Amino acid sequence: MTPFIKKNEIKNNWLLINAENVVVGRLAAYISKALRGKNKSQYTPHMDNGDFVVVTNIEKIKFTGKKFTNKKYYRHSGHPGGLKTTTPLILMKKKPEEILKLAVRRMLPSGPLAKKQLTKLKIYKGASHPHESQNPKIIDFAKINSKNCISIN
């Protein structure tokens, strides 16, 4: 029998990631694993065992290739002819947090548990955040893999 984690055994950590010059998809994949708790040895699919993730400097996030101008995000109003499209370029000006949130949400499974796990993602413009008292562990995302960051030459 597989030993599942109990509710009183769950320990949520806090992670802090600086998103400056980081590739969106790679960051979203890392965050989705941390939110689900797949980076822990006691991963349990039906429990919210994931970590809290704080992302700063979201306005400096990068896309590879021509995705920044050519990628399209679709949403529908529910009415005939109600398809709305937007690009990361437009979304960056209005709500830069939404770019990463959409990417992470699509990497999580659908359902009530994923909605609860997505609330553990905190995204902020600039370097400051109100979660200093939780002592988040700083993750240097650029050091994990050289492809995680786009260097400006």
Exposure of 86 by Cβ count < 10 A (0-12 exposed, 13-18 middle, 19+ buried)?
middle
Integer Cα distance of 45 and 130 in angstroms: 30
Using DSSP bridges, classify how beta strands 52-56 and 14-18 pair: parallel, antiparallel or unpaired. Answer: parallel
The predicted model scores a pTM of 0.92
Number of domains in the chain: 1
In a domain, 72, yes or no: no
Which CATH number is 137's domain given?
3.90.1180.10
Which residues constitute the domain of residue 132?
A: 11-63+96-148
Q: pLDDT 10s per residue in the chain (153 long)?
A: 778 888 898 999 999 999 999 999 999 999 999 999 999 988 989 999 999 999 999 999 999 999 999 999 999 999 999 999 999 999 999 999 999 999 999 999 999 999 999 999 999 999 999 999 999 999 999 899 999 998 765
Domain contains 78: no
The answer to the question of residue 112 being in a domain is yes
